Amino acid sequence: MNTLKITENVSTAAQRDIFELQRKIGAFTDGEGSEEAFRKYRLARGVYGQRQPGVQMIRIKLPYGRVTADQLVRIADCSDEFATGNLHATTRQDIQLHFVKLSDSPQLWANLEDANITLREACGNTVRNVTASSTAGIDPDEPFDVTPYAQAIFEYFLRNPISQEMGRKFKISLSSSEKDSAFGFMHDVGLIPRLTQNAQGELVKGFKVLIGGGLGAQPFPAQVAYEFLPEDQAIPFTEALIRVFDRYGERTRRHKARMKFLLNDLGLETLLEKVQEEWIALKSKRLPVAPLAFDWQNLPERTPLSSEEIAALAAEKLAAEAMDIFPKWLATNVFEQKQKGWYGVQLRVLLGDMSSDTARALAEIVRQHAADDIRVTVNQGYLLRFVKAEDLPVLFEKLHALGLAEPGFDSTADITTCPGTDTCNLAISSSYGITRALEVMMKEEYPDLIYNNDIKIKISGCMNGCGQHSAANIGFHGSSIKNGKLVLPALQVLLGGGFTGVSEGQIGDKVIKLPSKRGPEAMRYLLSDYQTNAFEGEYFNQYYARQTKNYFYQLLKPLADLSKVQDDEYRDWDHDELFKTEVGVGECAGVMIDLVGTTLIEANEKLSLAHEMLAEGVWADGIYHAYNTFITGAKALLIGEGIATNTQYGLVKEFDTQFGKQFYTSENETPFAEVVFSINKNEPTEAFARTFVEAAGEFLAKVKEVRDKQLAETGAPALQELTFGQDS
């Protein structure tokens, strides 16, 4: 294993993470531990197995998509050194690097942490990257800037013990206004800023709170938990909700393990009651959010220029060829910020892919012409902020030279897509190929679509929805169709998702499945029909609702006819070989450990973390690590008996039934459930923390004793020696 080079800029917590990752990689390479356990571990460190064997995708966690010029250069340098020289922007405002060797991931992480960039909890059963409207802080429609809240949420849940090993991932978004441009309606928690007046007539900040949204094979729109929640309760509420999800969420049936299913099972009222039951255990019942260290909002106002005045400036500076594009770019990619006289510039990036050389050149442009506050956007582009009007022509010229001044940002012509079969294990058919074909077709045949912001097109390589196809006006997800003995790559067409004429998100309907190579023709059918038959001013989703699903099924049905399939249709986009479905093991979340010994080692690690938190005086975190010690130790013995449970709550009850009499004497007959669930009956004080951690240690020692006895009775080898406690 290579010697790690870690600078003094890397925090102590990050150093520990990086050295531990290197240690775990070494142990796994030497054959220690199960593959499932290692997968779960590395996913929570942003290391994700690719479709191609032996290489990894590294997901870089950028809260609300913010990246500085120096950080962008550092990511580009890491891509050159460890990956392919490409930066892939995602729909959750991350940047991904592909084809990285597993052994290189610790040093890659260390190089990123030197620039204050993390991989921690970018994947796995954790709180994923916190997303936000890229325009937050400069949005003319926003009641207030949600950026500080997004930063605070990111910091609060990073390495937080309550969110390290949930049943599934948990996603949070913050929109800048009622337009919900961060898609709160499809998140586990969506926060939309609002202002209201208190009894004294003062304006008070808060959020409309949406919960339980999600995409995937069974998409659900979020439900409204609160029309107004005071801003200092946003983080406490989210923590309490995560605690409930951790306690009652599904853990066996992966396809039922998201918050949306728990909400559906319990109902909104019962779920919120359980949230309130957790309130006493929170370390902060109210948590005001501090201003950011960086704040560009207070720049002096400038004199705004009209589009005609800007065009006149451009005419003096730009060549005739550039002037053919500049007005379109100005109209579709540039907007005036809420700060008078300053402009936001949006960069359309095909497939979300940018070369490392382009990224470094972009960073230099930002240093010269914009605030050092780049935002990756949810449609896989970039946003530059605080650009002067007089700099727009030269900025356009420099971006155009890099291929970053394509007009039509976030328009119909700007398709959002996941990597599909290019790298992902779960993908069924190509996403990139059909995206390129559609964008070329629309540019040639429907050039005015760069001005259309009504119809959004999104594509995923499978039903899981990384390309957010269910939340699109026109969505496609990769699939397959059997035709005789052969299989064709296919697209499932979804219509009517995304936003209606008002800012209300909805899930699209599955309309029809057709061969992938007929995707461009299907798009022609849809666009031409809408242009011909829609009423004046009628949004696409309104038109879809008026015509009904069956109308569009009949419209597209001829394209699903397999009686005359061309040879090329048996080959996917960008591929010459005959198509066949090759779906690997998904890594969107870890797999539950099924080895008793490994599980007990894991329980011991949690107890050690509990003692560390006691030593640091972080009582609430120590308590939760101790709670996880109880859960993991109990799981180990139940696994040994071949007993599976769906939830932590069910696990505790089952443990009482199976082992309660072995663990408690006549002097101490407190049920296991009562001991464990005292976590949400007490304030997180030092006294309770020390008592609870001590009880967890005694419990785990007893678990080992019981397990050793079981092994002795069966003649199996004894467990490896474990030292339970503070110094293990």
Last-in-domain residue among 373, 401, 429:
401
- pLDDT tops 90 at residue 590: no
For residues 128 and 169, is the Cβ–Cβ distance under 8 A?
Answer: yes
pTM of the model: 0.91
pLDDT band at 505 (very low <50, low <70, confident <90, very high): confident
Torsional class of 46: left (φ above 0), alpha (ψ -120 to 50), beta (otherwise):
left
Last-in-domain residue among 367, 401, 435:
401
CATH number at residue 625: 1.20.120.330
Which residue would you say has higher pLDDT here, 522 or 601? 522
* pLDDT at res. 444: 95
* pLDDT at res. 424: 81
For residues 469 and 458, is the Cβ–Cβ distance under 8 A?
Answer: yes
Q: Are residues 104 and 174 in the same domain?
A: no
Q: Are residues 468 and 535 in the same domain?
A: yes
Pairing relation of β-strands 382-388 and 374-376? antiparallel
Element (H, E) at 479: strand 474-483
Calpha distance 75→123 (Å, rounded):
18
pLDDT band at 663 (very low <50, low <70, confident <90, very high): confident
Specify if 591 maps to a domain: no
Task: Write down how long the chain is.
Answer: 728
Calpha distance 629→317 (Å, rounded):
67
pLDDT band at 643 (very low <50, low <70, confident <90, very high): confident
* pLDDT at res. 255: 81
Calpha distance 560→69 (Å, rounded):
48
CATH number at residue 311: 3.90.480.20
| For residues 117-140, average pLDDT | 96
pLDDT band at 595 (very low <50, low <70, confident <90, very high): low
Measured CA to CA in angstroms, residue 416 lies from 42, 299, 385, 494, 590 at distances of 28, 33, 22, 14, 26
Specify if 207 maps to a domain: yes
CB-count exposure of residue 116 (10 Å: 0-12, 13-18, 19+): middle
Give Dmax over CA atoms of the chain in angstroms.
92
Measured CA to CA in angstroms, residue 619 lies from 191, 277, 623, 626 at distances of 28, 19, 6, 11
pLDDT band at 601 (very low <50, low <70, confident <90, very high): confident
Q: Are residues 350 and 436 in the same domain?
A: no
Got the DSSP string for 112-167?
HHTTT-B-TTSSSSSB-PPEE-TTTTT-TT-SS--HHHHHHHHHHHTT-GGGSS-S
- pLDDT tops 70 at residue 171: yes
Q: What φ, ψ does residue 576 adopt, rounded to 5°?
A: -100, -25
* pLDDT at res. 668: 61
Q: How many CB atoms lie within 10 A of CB 280?
A: 14
Structure tokens at 52: 């191609």
Structure tokens at 438: 């559609």
Q: Are residues 277 and 146 in the same domain?
A: yes
* pLDDT at res. 13: 95
Q: Are residues 337 and 378 in the same domain?
A: yes
Calpha distance 468→449 (Å, rounded):
21
Q: Are residues 553 and 452 in the same domain?
A: yes
Strand partners, 344: 335
Q: Are residues 617 and 692 in the same domain?
A: yes
Q: Are residues 428 and 508 in the same domain?
A: yes
Single-letter code of the amino acid located at 486: L
Single-letter code of the amino acid located at 299: L
Specify if 163 maps to a domain: yes
* pLDDT at res. 728: 34
Specify if 286 maps to a domain: no
Specify if 198 maps to a domain: yes
Specify if 6 maps to a domain: no
| For residues 80-92, average pLDDT | 97
Specify if 298 maps to a domain: no
Specify if 601 maps to a domain: yes
Query: Which residues have a Cβ under 8 Å from the Cβ of 596 and sit 6 or more positions away?
Result: 636, 637, 639, 640, 707, 719
CATH number at residue 153: 3.30.413.10
* pLDDT at res. 582: 64
Task: Write out pLDDT tens, residues 201-225.
Answer: 899 999 999 999 998 878 899 999 9
Percent of the chain with pLDDT over 70: 95
For residues 375 and 66, is the Cβ–Cβ distance under 8 A?
Answer: yes
For residues 165 and 631, is the Cβ–Cβ distance under 8 A?
Answer: no
Pairing relation of β-strands 131-132 and 172-174? parallel
Q: What is the mean pLDDT of the chain?
A: 91
The residue among 233, 217, 134 whose CA lies nearest residue 176 is: 134
Q: Are residues 359 and 442 in the same domain?
A: no
- pLDDT tops 80 at residue 105: yes
Q: Are residues 146 and 213 in the same domain?
A: yes
| For residues 585-607, average pLDDT | 67
* pLDDT at res. 588: 52
* pLDDT at res. 593: 33
Q: Are residues 428 and 553 in the same domain?
A: yes
Using only C-alpha atoms, what is the Rg of the chain? 27
pLDDT band at 484 (very low <50, low <70, confident <90, very high): confident
Structure tokens at 495: 């219509």
Looking at the 3D structure of the chain, how many domains does it have? 5
Q: Tell me which residue range forms the domain holding 167.
A: 139-281
Measured CA to CA in angstroms, residue 67 lies from 46, 79, 120, 358, 666 at distances of 17, 16, 16, 15, 60
Task: Write out pLDDT tens, residues 283-313.
Answer: 999 999 998 888 777 788 899 898 899 988 9
> Can you list the alpha helix ranges (DSSP code H) found in 405-559?
432-445, 519-533, 540-547, 549-556
Last-in-domain residue among 378, 401, 424:
401
Q: Are residues 394 and 459 in the same domain?
A: no
